[in-house]
Structure 1
Amino acid sequence: MLADLSSRVVATARAGKVVVFTLSVAMIGALLLPGERSLAAEVDAVGVSAPTGFAEIVERVRPAVVGIRVKSDRRTSDIPRARSIPQGSLLERFFRQFGIQMTPDQDPGSDISVGAGFIISGDGYIVTNEHVVASGIDIEVTMDDGKIYSGKLIGADPQTDLALIKISAAGDLSYVRLAATEPRIGEWVLPIGNPFGFGGTVTAGIVSARGRDIGEEPYSDFIQIDAPVNKGNSGGPTFNVRGEVVGVNTVIYSPSGGSVGVAFDIPAETVKLVVQQLREKGRVTRGWVGVYLQQITPRIADALDMKKAQGALVAQLDAGGPAAAQGVEVGDVIVFLNEHEVTSPRDFARTMAVIAPGSTVNLRVLRNGQTLSLMITAGELSQVTKGPSDKQTKLGEEAVLGLTLSPATLVPGAGESGVVVLEINPEGGAADSGLQVGDIVLSIGGRPVTAVADFNRIVGEARTQAKRSLLIRVRRADSMNFVAVPIS
C-alpha cells in the first residue's frame, strides 16, 4: 500500500503538480514494509524541497538596524506617517465595501518620537526619516545588542523626509549597503524596525509596485510594499534577499493607523543622493530653472498637434528666473533635460533635483512644431509660498462651448487681462474639459484673449480649420495651467 502511495506522490511531483497527503505517524509505521524507502526519501529523490527562510539574511543585517527615540520640543508623530485614505480613491472604495470605518489620524499626545534607522558606515552614520528627528532636542539610539548611544543630527531634508545622524562608538560598527539596482515587482523584501517599541522586529512581503506618486514630496518615487509596517518602523530599512537596503520605510496608508499591507519606501537611489549631500554639507541643494510644468494629456497633445502625449508643458515661468531669462516660453513642451528624456513634470523635478546649482543644462523643447535646444544656467531652489486670490464673480456674456464669460476687468480681483469663466453648461462642449468656474482664460492657441468676442472668434476660426481641440491657457488661483478643450 505504501509503495503504491509513494509511487503516486513521486509521479505527481515529476509531473510538476502539487499534492498534499496527511498521514499520522502510526499510519506511516503500519504502512512501512521492510526494505521500503520512506515517502520523504522518495520525494527528495525527485528534487522536491522545503522553502528556505530568511534567517541567515536577518542574522547578517539586523545588527546594523537601530531603534531611535527622540525627545522633541513639540508634539510629533512617530509613524510611518499614517495617511487618511482619500475619499473616492480605490482604497477608500475597497474599505467602504467591506464596512471598515475610516478614522482620522490621532495625535499620540506625547513629546517622544519613536522610530528606526540603519547604520551605513563603520564610523556611526545612521539614516532615518526627517519626521522622526524633526524638532528633536535629545536623540537616543539603541543598538541591536541593547547598547544606547547619544545621536547627533548631521542634517535633514524635509523634501524627501530623510535625515542623517551620527553616534560615537568604540571600534567599527556593523553597517549595511544601499542596493545598486531597483527591486523588481514581486521580489521578496524584509523591513526591519522598531514597531510599537519592539526593537529588531522583522516582517516579510513583496514589492507591490514601483514609481508610486502618492501626493507626497515631489522628489520621491515611492516603492510600494505589502509587508507589515507600523508605528516605529519610520526610518527603518527594507532589505532585499541579498541583504541590501532597497528603501526606507516612510509612509503607510491606513484606516486606523495600523498596517493594512500598503506601505511606501523611499528608494535607495534617492537615499544615496540625499545622504551624500547631508554628509558633506549638512543640507541638500537642488537645481532650479523657474518653470511650472503640466502633464501632457492625450487631449493636450492633440491640441498641440503632437503624435503622442510626452514631455512636460510649461504652464508658467518665474519672472526673472533662469528659464524666463534664457529663452524658455510659456507653451513650450520640455522633452529632454540634458540626455534624460522627460516623461512627466515629476520626472523633470526629480532629474533637476540632482543637478548642482550653477550647472549649465540643456533643455530640448518643442515649440510650434519645431525642436529647439536651449542652454540654461541652473539656480538654487528656494521655497516660495503663494496665497490664494479672492475673486468674486457676476453674470456675464454667453459664449461658445457652453460657457458664460466676462472680461476680467469687470470682475473684482480678477486682474486686467483675460476673460473669467462664470458658468459652465453641463451639456456644453467644455463641460468635461477640465475648465473650472473662476478660471481666467488668458489665451487660446497662443493668441491673447481680452474679450468674449475674442474667445468666440478664435474658436470659430479653429472650427473652420477642422481642428478637434484647442489649448486654452488659464490662470487658476495663483497658478497657470493649460486646458485642452474639444471644439468639434
Structure 2
Amino acid sequence: MFAAFSWINNSLHPIHLPETRADTETYMKRGTVIGATGGLIAGVSLGALALAAPAFGLFSHNASSTAATAAAQLALPAISQQARWGNLPNLADLVQAVSPSVVQIQVRSSSPVRQSQFQGRNPFEGTPFEDFFGAPGQGGPGAQQPGEAPDRMGSGSGFFIEGGYIVTNNHVVDDAKKMTVVFDDGREMEGTLVGTDPKTDLAVLKVSGSNIPRGLPWGTSANARPGDSVFAVGSPFGLGNTVTAGIVSARGRNINSGQYDDFIQVDAPINQGNSGGPLFDQSGAVIGVNSAIYSPTGGNVGIGFSIPSDMAKGIVAQLIATGSVERGWLGVSIGPVTPDIASSLNLASTKGAMVQGVTDGSPAAKAGVKEGDVILHYGDREIGHVQDLTRAVADTKAGTSRDLKIMRDGRAQTLKVNIDALKDDAAKPQLASATPTPGAATTVDLADLGLGLASRDGSLVVSSVKVNSPAADAGIRVGDKLVKVNQTNATTADAAKKAVDEAKKQNRNAVLLQLQRNDTRFFVGVPFSGK
C-alpha cells in the first residue's frame, strides 16, 4: 500500500492506492484519480485551470411530470422521449432556453494550500493558458510566500430551481467561506448555503436579488434509457457555460463512492468544473446532477456520472425545507448474495440482500430479523441487490411500517418492521461470541475448502489457507474467526467438519461460512474443490 495525491480545489489529499489489480478496478472514489489505472475526479475547477494528478417534486416539475410538461414550462415544443437529436427542431433552441439558469459557482476557502507538483513553476508559461494559471506574485499557486496560508480558490457549476435556489454538488461548496454565483450574462451575486448532504454529494445555495433566472424543471430519471440523447451545460475549467451532448450509457451505476450510489452514466464530455451542473433530457428537463468522471489521465474519456433527478429532487426538497436530510434506519449490516452464497443456501437466484449483522434495539431486531436472513422484498419493492435495500430504507419516513419478506432456513417468512430515523451516531451490530466445548478436537483440516482450523483463545480460528483454493478465492485469511457453518454455530473443530460433510451429503455445491475479522462479521459462500 502506498500513497499518491490528487488535486482537488488546489489542495493535496493523500489517496491510498489498492494493493491488487482487482482492488484497483473497484477502488473508485469521488474526487480522485487512481494512478495510471483510472479513477474518479470531482468536477471542480482549480481557478481557471484544473490540475488532476492523480422524488416528491417540490417545484414546477414533480416525479410524475412528463417530457411534454417540461417542454411547455420552457416554452418550447414538446419532444417525444423516443425522438433522436436529428428530429429536434434545433438543439440550439433548447440550449438557449436553459443556459441562463445554469451558473458558475466560484468558491473561496480558508483551507491552506500545499506546494503543487509544479513547485511554483507555471507549466503553461509562454502559452495562452499562462495568465489563467497565474505567475509567481500574480495570484496563482506560484505566488505563495513562505509561512503564508492563502485562500483556496475553486469553481464548479450549479443550476436554478424555483425561488432563487441553486442546486450543486456538496464537494463544490465543502468548507467554503464565500461563494460567488456567476450568471451566464456575467452578473455576480453572493450565494448563501442552505444545506448540504455529503452522503449524496448534493448541496443547495440561495441568492436574493432582481432578474433571477427562471427555475429549471425536474425530469424523471427513471424514464431515461441507455441510448437516450442527453446534453450537459456547465462551466468546465472555469471557462463559463459550455454545452456538450451525448447519450445515456448505463443506469444504476455503483462507483463505490457511498452506500446510496445510483448514478446515470453518460458519454457526454464532462470535465472538472462541470460538477453540480445539470444533465438534460431531450425536452430540456433536468434528469441528473453531474458529479464525477472516470479517467486514467484526468481528462474526459467519455465516462461521466450524474446523480439521478429522482433521487436529487427529494434530497433538495428536504434541504430547502429543513437544511438537512432525514433518512430511515433499519439497523442491519448487509452484503450481496453471491452465486456461491446462493448455492450454499439453495436459493434460485442471487437477488436479495444478506443480513450480516443486526443492531440490538434496532427496528430490525425488534421485528425479529436475524443474521443470515436474506431480505427479498421491502414493502412492495423487490430487492435485487444491496443498494436497492439501502435506498429503499433511506427513502422511508421514520415511524412508517413496512413488510419484510425474508428467506430463512429455506423458508419464506414475512416480518413487519417499524422504521426509525437514522442518526449519525447510530449503534453498530453487536457481536455475540460462540462458547467452545471443552475436551473437543482443537484442529481440523477442511481439505475440500482449502483451509485449516484451530482452537485459539476460546474461538475457532483459520490457521491456514491453501494458495489458489476455494477458501483463498473467497477472500478468507489466516486469523479469521469461524462463527457459523451453514448457519450452525461452529463451537468446535469437529462440529465445523461435521457441518461441512453434511453439506456435501446434501449435494450442495458450496458451504456457507460466517467469519469474523476484527470487529466485522460477514458471510462467504465457499464452493467445494472441483465444483
TM bucket normalised to smaller? 0.7 to 0.9
Deviations 1:434-477 (A, max 9, x none): 43333211001121112222211221233233333221111123
Distance 2:480 2:527 in 1: 17
Q: Which amino acid aligns with 2:451?
A: L
Judged with a 3 Å threshold, the aligned counterparts in structure 2 of structure 1 residues 354 and 427 are, in CA distance, closer, same or farther, namely: closer
The yes-or-no answer on 1:347 pairing with 2:388 is yes
Is 1:404 the counterpart of 2:452 in the alignment? yes
The 8 Å contact of residues 113 and 133 in structure 1, kept in 2 or not, is answered as no
Cα pair 1:66 1:142 within 8 Å, conserved: yes
1:176 aligns with 2:216: yes
**Structure-2 residue corresponding to 1:326:** 367
Partner of 2:507 in structure 1? 466
Give unmatched runs, 5+ long, in structure 2. 1-85, 115-140, 143-149, 429-441
Residue 58 of structure 1 aligns with which residue?
95
Q: Distance in 2 between matches of 1:161 and 1:223?
A: 14
Q: Does 1:237 align with 2:285?
A: no
1:360 to 394, 397, 401: 401
Tell me which moved more, 152-161 or 318-327: 318-327
Q: Provide the rounded CA distance (Å) in 2 between the counterparts of 1:233 and 1:335.
A: 38
Q: 1:172 to 1:142 in 2, by over 3 A?
A: closer
Alignment of 1:159 with 2:179, yes or no, is: no
1:466 partner SS: coil
Equivalent residue number for residue 480 of structure 1? 521
Give the equivalent residue in structure 1 for 2:494. Answer: 453
Question: Does the Cα contact within 8 Å between 1:224 and 1:262 map onto a contact in 2?
Answer: yes
Tell whether the 8 Å contact from 2:221 to 2:288 is kept in structure 1 after alignment.
no
Q: Structure 2 counterpart of 1:435, which letter? A: I
Confirm or deny: 8 A CA contact 1:220 1:270 kept in the other structure: no
CA distance in 2, matches of 1:137, 1:338: 43
Summarize the alignment of residues 12-411 of structure 1 with structure 2, pairs less than 5 Å apart: 53-74=90-111, 111-121=152-162, 123-171=163-211, 173-182=213-222, 183-383=224-424, 397-401=444-448, 402-409=450-457
Point out 4+ residue stretches in structure 1 off by more than 4 angstroms.
49-53, 107-110
SS in 2 for 1:441: strand
Contact 2:104 2:181 in 1 (8 A): yes
- Amino acid across the alignment from 1:371: A
Identity %: 39
Counterpart-to-counterpart distance in 1, 2:249 and 2:233: 18
Alpha-carbon shift at residue 252 of structure 1 (Å): 0.9
Residue 318 of structure 1: how far off its partner (Å)? 1.5
Moved more, 464-473 or 327-336: 464-473
Q: Which moved more, 1:348-357 or 1:56-65?
A: 348-357
Which amino acid letter does the alignment assign opposite residue 304 of structure 2? A
Pair 1:303–1:76, CA change in 2 (3 A): farther
Deviation of residue 359 (structure 1)?
A: 1.8
What amino acid is aligned across from residue 222 of structure 1 in structure 2?
F
Letter in 1 for 2:251: R
Query: What pairs with 1:1-16 in structure 2 (closer than 5 Å)?
Result: none
Uncovered stretches (5+) of structure 1, i.e. residues with no partner:
1-48, 78-106, 387-394, 410-415
| Cα separation, 1, equivalents of 2:113 and 2:321 | 28
Shift of 1:427: 5.8
Change in 2 beyond 3 A, CA 1:128/1:76: farther
Cα contact 2:221–2:308 (8 A) shared by 1: no
Preserved CA contact (<8 Å) 1:120 1:176: yes
Q: TM-score scaled by structure 1?
A: 0.76
CA shift in 2, pair 1:181/1:362, >3 Å: same
What is the SS of the residue equivalent to 2:193?
strand
Distance 1:57 1:291, change over 3 A: same
Change in CA separation of 1:467 and 1:232 when aligned onto 2, cut-off 3 Å: closer
- 8 Å CA contact 2:255, 2:261 repeated in 1: no
2:4 corresponds in structure 1 to none
Give 1:172 shift.
5.3
C-alpha contact 1:76 1:113 (8 A) present in aligned 2: no
CA contact 1:252–1:263 (8 Å) conserved in 2: yes
Q: Distance in 2 between matches of 1:110 and 1:407?
A: 58
Q: TM-score, normalised by structure 2?
A: 0.70
| Structure having greater relative contact order (Cα 8 Å, sep ≥ 6) | 2
The amino acid across from 2:155 in the alignment is V
CA-CA distance at 1:126 after TM superposition? 0.5
Partner of 2:68: none
Larger Rg: 1
Per the TM alignment, residue 422 of structure 1 is displaced from its structure 2 partner at its CA by 2.5
Question: Which deviates more from structure 2 when the two are superposed, residues 150-159 or residues 167-176?
Answer: 167-176
Q: CA RMSD in A?
A: 2.5
